[in-house]
Structure 1
Amino acid sequence: MSKHQGPEPSGNPAEITNGDISKSQRKRAARAVLELARELVDLNDSRLERVPLDDAIRDAVRETRAIRSHVARKRQLQYLAKLLRRDDTDPITEALDDMRNEARRGVARHHRAEGWRDRLLRDGDAALSELLEQRPGMESQALRQCIRAATREAAAGKPPAAARRLFRLLLDLDTSEALPHSDPD
């Protein structure tokens, strides 16, 4: 016979206090809110400002950051989790998820630009013409100049300043509209 008595609580206080939820589910929900509190404390100030928090919770986060004693910090984290359990944590969780996705998108942009830079330096005009086919209207002259300069630098054994410039140019192009994926080797 299964001990499961209902849906998993989302961290919403109304669901945690519901009598139909098992003690284990309440503990899991409490641990999830405590982990959310830890995540809020670990955010830098600029990211913390982007999270929808009321002033009491924001102040508790700042107080927790200032505490250096392990035991006192743990106690303050429990207090912060208690404050979080009083409110709906879904908007906070969504804001943190958006920040994580934003970082993933940035990494993906970085990888696309790196892939095209490496491919353009390796294959030259063939890769450039393929990129221009996939992304019509792109300015090709600046790309050609960077590719030639980077090729000359590599042949002369100089530092890759032009390759970096090419990367930044590709990254800027990817920011306005995502570059197509470069084919792997």
Structure 2
Amino acid sequence: MRGRDEETGEFLGPSRTQQRQAALDVLALSHQLAALSAAQLDKLPIPEGLRPHIADTQRITSPIARKRQMAFLAKQMRREDDATLDAIRDALDAGGEASRRETAMLHRVESWRERLLADGDAALAELLAEHPNADRQRLRQLVRNAGEERAKNKPPHSYRELFRELRELLAQASDEGSAELE
């Protein structure tokens, strides 16, 4: 029984309907997690304690046993705090904040790569001014090789490697920036 606050007359705690809806939401989230591959699960902020339960759920093929294991997984997930579950939901959501940040990061990396290939040393100097810890020689070599690959219609090995280098560089910078804000 929930009870009422004696002074205001307000109900204390959530109603049974609200509790049931919250439990069903967690069950739906457990279904989503069980449907993901191991690589997709690694990208999500899932606590280490839940990973074996998710793996067990994925391993079970019998419909009744899977349903029972899914309910157990949901029970384990309900023990986690709301912030953890919200972070998992946000990471799963295609339009979520984490997805938007990742997309924005990839656009910045792509923009830098195209500027480096188009402007050469001027763009490289600007990039190095923003990120002084970058490896100037490695970036210059990748830009030169990517330009040669484009000119000769060769496979874009250096072009892709340049993208990876820039993504790591900008990711480090954003991680350091977020650490400074905290």
TM-score by structure 2 length? 0.60
- 3-state DSSP class of the match of 1:21? coil
Equivalent residue for 1:26, pick from 12, 19, 28: 19
1:50-71: CA deviations, max 9, x gaps? Answer: 6253xxx776544432332445
Structure 2: distance between partners of 1:118 and 1:136: 20
Change (3 A) 1:31 1:159: same
The alpha carbon displacement at 1:34 in A equals 0.9
Over aligned residue pairs, what C-alpha RMSD do you find?
4.1
Equivalent residue for 2:88, pick from 85, 96, 104: 96
Query: Any unmatched runs of 5+ in structure 2?
Result: 5-10, 176-182
- 3-state DSSP class of the match of 1:158? coil
The alpha carbon displacement at 1:102 in A equals 7.4
Q: 1:118 corresponds to which letter in structure 2?
A: E
Change (3 A) 1:35 1:149: same
Q: Does 1:114 align with 2:110?
A: yes
Equivalent residue for 2:66, pick from 60, 64, 73: 73
Contact preservation (8 Å) 1:51, 1:96 = no
Q: Does 1:147 align with 2:143?
A: yes
Change (3 A) 1:33 1:142: closer
Percent same amino acid among aligned pairs? 40
1:150-178: CA deviations, max 9, x gaps? Answer: 21221121122222232233233234324
Structure 2: distance between partners of 1:77 and 1:143: 48
Contact preservation (8 Å) 2:26, 2:77 = yes
Contact preservation (8 Å) 2:115, 2:123 = yes
Query: Any unmatched runs of 5+ in structure 1?
Result: 1-5, 7-17, 180-185
The alpha carbon displacement at 1:137 in A equals 5.2
- 3-state DSSP class of the match of 1:168? helix
Structure 2: distance between partners of 1:91 and 1:116: 34
Q: 1:150 corresponds to which letter in structure 2?
A: A
Structure 2: distance between partners of 1:59 and 1:132: 44
1:84-141: CA deviations, max 9, x gaps? Answer: 55x3543752673697687776665444333211221122233223223323454433
Q: Does 1:130 align with 2:126?
A: yes
Q: 1:93 corresponds to which letter in structure 2?
A: L
Counterpart position of 1:156: 152
